Chain A
């Protein structure tokens, strides 16, 4: 390559690399710390050791397909007559790691997820389309990079699982999320 061309190319290269790096910085995802789901003792035998907030027993209709089982009628081993408790939170171990996740087998193929955590913060979540069978290639989640709002208030409404009256009031007090 001629010298003049080399210099021009060199300058352009530096510019492009610098710009790309800058853009990359802004693309980084920072989220609130994301804790593992609470592992409270299950209240009924069918429920495996998975998240279960204590069954809410306050007079609130389930917006779900069934009222919580031990709600009003049957006595249950859990402290069901107490008011709604906040779920027990088990803080995650503060390891920094990138989880190139295990492959989830599902009826339509496999999904693999890479979650990059720094301490407890998720800094990058990418989903990978490992395989999709049955011609459902497009029916599968593939690579998504999240842009998570840093402080969670830049929206008019928050959609979540139906909250109870008490929870609603508590959160309003704490002003954690804008409703």
Chain B
């Protein structure tokens, strides 16, 4: 997109003479039908995922898996097989979900995908535990030994089972350390490191699946199915998580080119390099930001772009969130940074209405500010609500004001302490509810697309108000900042 400097800006922008704006989009497709494409895509993806599950169950059934369940031994045998098939299939889907796969992100957005990944964790573990117990138990019945002895006998006598035992151990560790209580207790880096063992679990279990799996070993079709699944999933991971970011990083060699303090607790970081077009992103999207320094390279952070993408730089505005974002604020000019992405569906692609309300709180301003810059709109179409603690010390507030002025948008800054306990707005002199006040600011909110970005609890409060206002759920777009 081209940069444009209006004559106006240079005269009136005493504070930020460097505000350059990209040309906003010159058209947008509206209407409900626009979402159909997404729905079709989502349906297809979900149908494929479901089909894979049905396929493995069907394989089990076709092999006579549910036939002749006459005694405990045969029942345990059936359980061993079925749980193995379903668990492995789900596990492959699970790791695909967090592979930062572009085609999943396009339809669901990073948040939904990560949520789904988390939800699958425990069921998979339960299935795997059932599988291990059933197989050892069954074996111990026929060998007439106790389960513990049988377990050790199996893993020491049957080669691929030893590696599977390790896979099992890793799985347990990965899931347990990801439970809520554990996440609170361990630092993020430690948790992340342990979580990588999930890949170890997946890989170490492969040999015994192909050599011992009753529904795989020696069965051509089944073997091909699993090989294809593994190749597909691992291929996606290899590309999206490893190869693509590295290739792009090497070709663009992004470095910090400028740092601007935007408030007492936030800075804007500009990244520049070659071939910036490769990073072309929609306004509202975010990248995983990975400073390539010895202490930070293994800790990527998600940051939204705070300005439209252009050919010269990508800009992020980073505030303190209580984690080591403070450390990032101290980043030096010239530091190489690797970006992964762009991700997110907090974009105009989801807009179906003429009227738009953009609501941001504190450090949730960057994507809102970017959207305000690039969205197609005539004056009055877009209303911006910016909730800040102190309007004299709010990130990007001047830019936002300027943008609103240039593009003719209404900007409502809600500054100061919270009013009522559950309110997402600032204190007001009147006893009006959040809903009333919102309707005053944006009377047409029910028929608008609403984009909300800020801390989780605050976002929930906004969503409640929007619900009461009658805005349909599919027109409310939120960006989670909590992971």
Is A bound to B? Answer: yes
**Which B residues lie within 8 Å of A129 (CB)?**
211-212, 217-218
Stretch from B138-146, B178-186, B189-197, B372-380 that touches the partner: B138-146
Measured between C-beta atoms, what is the minimum distance from B34 to chain A in Å?
A: 15
CB-CB contacts of A141-162 with B at 8 A, as 1s and 0s? 0111100000000000000000
A-binding segment of B1-9, B46-54, B467-475: B46-54
Does A25 contact B64, Cβ atoms closer than 8 Å? yes
- Report A-chain residues with C-beta under 8 Å of the C-beta of B211: 128-131
Q: Is B434 among interface residues, defined by CB-CB distance under 8 A? A: no
- Is B340 close to A, CB under 8 A? no
Residues from chain B with a CB closer than 8 A to the CB of A114 are: 77, 214
CB–CB B62/A24 < 8 A: yes
- Evaluate whether A143 and B47 lie within 8 angstroms (CB atoms) in the complex, with A23-B62, A98-B74, A130-B158 already known: no
Asked, given contacts A24-B62, A128-B217, whether A96 binds B143 with beta carbons under 8 Å apart, the answer is no
CB pair A1–B159 under 8 Å, yes or no, is: no
Q: Which of B52-71 contact A (CB under 8 A)?
A: 54, 57-68, 70-71
Chain B hits for A126, CB < 8 A: 214
A17 close to B217 (CB less than 8 A): no
Whether B71 and A24, one on each chain, are in contact in the complex, defined by CB atoms closer than 8 angstroms, is no
* Contact yes or no, B63 A130, CB < 8 A: no
The B137-183 residues at the A interface (CB cut-off 8 A) are 138-139, 141-143, 157-160
Give A118 to B64 CA distance when docked, in angstroms.
15
Query: 1/0 per position for A86-113, CB-CB distance to B under 8 A?
Result: 0000000000111111110000001010
Query: Are the C-beta atoms of B157 and A103 separated by less than 8 Å?
Result: yes
- Interface contact A96-B74, CB-CB below 8 Å: yes
Chain B residue nearest to A14 in the complex (CB): B54
Contact in complex: B70, A118 (CB < 8 Å): yes
Q: Mark A19-35, 1 if CB is under 8 A from B, else 0.
A: 11101110110000000
B76 — which chain A residues lie within 8 A by C-beta?
A: 98
Cβ contacts under 8 Å, B46 to chain A: 1
- Assess whether A80 is interfacial by the CB under 8 Å rule: no
CA distance A112 to B135 in the complex (A): 14
A98 → B minimal CB distance (Å): 4
Give Cα distance in the complex from A66 to B383, angstroms.
102
Instruction: Annotate A115-133 by CB proximity to B: 1 below 8 A, 0 otherwise.
Output: 0101000011011111100
Q: CB distance A97 to B159 under 8 Å?
A: no
Q: Name the residue on B nearest A118 (C-beta).
A: B70
Q: CB distance A116 to B62 under 8 Å?
A: no
Chain A residues with CB under 8 Å of B50's CB are 9, 13
Q: Which residue of A is nearest B143, CB measured?
A: A102
Contact of A5 with B by CB under 8 A: yes
Decide: B77 and A16 in contact? CB cutoff 8 A.
Answer: no
Residues of A within 8 A of B138 (CB): 98, 100
- Is residue A136 within 8 Å, beta carbon to beta carbon, of the partner chain? no
A2 touches B39 (CB 8 A): yes
Chain B residues with CB below 8 A from A99, complex form: 142
Q: A110-B158, A128-B212 are in contact. Are A24 and B65 (CB under 8 A)?
A: yes
Q: Does B73 contact A (CB under 8 A)?
A: yes
CB distance from B431 to the nearest CB of A (A): 43
Given contacts A25-B67, A100-B138, A118-B70, contact A1 B61 (CB under 8 A): no
- Residue in B63, B73, B158 whose beta carbon sits within 8 Å of that of A97 in the complex: B73
Given the known interface contacts A1-B47, A98-B138, the answer about A123 and B54 at a Cβ–Cβ threshold of 8 Å is: no
Chain A residues 35-54 with CB under 8 Å of chain B are none
B219 within 8 A of A: yes
Assess whether A23 is in contact with B71, with CB atoms less than 8 Å apart.
Answer: no
| A1 and B54 alpha carbons, distance in the complex (Å) | 17
Q: A98-B142, A102-B143, A130-B158 are known contacts. Are A124 and B68 too (CB-CB below 8 A)?
A: yes
Query: Is B158 a contact partner of A21 (Cβ separation < 8 A)?
Result: no
B42 on interface, CB distance cutoff 8 Å: yes
Q: Show the binding face of A for B, using Cβ within 8 Å.
A: 1-2, 5, 9, 13, 16-17, 19-21, 23-25, 27-28, 96-103, 110, 112, 114, 116, 118, 123-124, 126-131, 142-145
**List of 9 A-B pairs having minimum Cβ-Cβ separation, nearest first:** A143-B218, A20-B61, A20-B58, A98-B73, A142-B218, A96-B71, A27-B64, A24-B64, A143-B217
Which B residues fall within an 8 A CB radius of A?
Answer: 39, 42-43, 46-47, 50, 54, 57-68, 70-71, 73-74, 76-77, 135, 138-139, 141-143, 157-160, 211-212, 214, 217-219
Can you offer 20 A-B residue contacts whose CB atoms are under 8 A?
A: A1-B46, A2-B39, A5-B47, A16-B58, A19-B58, A21-B61, A23-B62, A24-B65, A27-B63, A28-B67, A28-B68, A98-B74, A98-B77, A100-B77, A112-B158, A118-B70, A127-B218, A128-B212, A130-B160, A130-B211
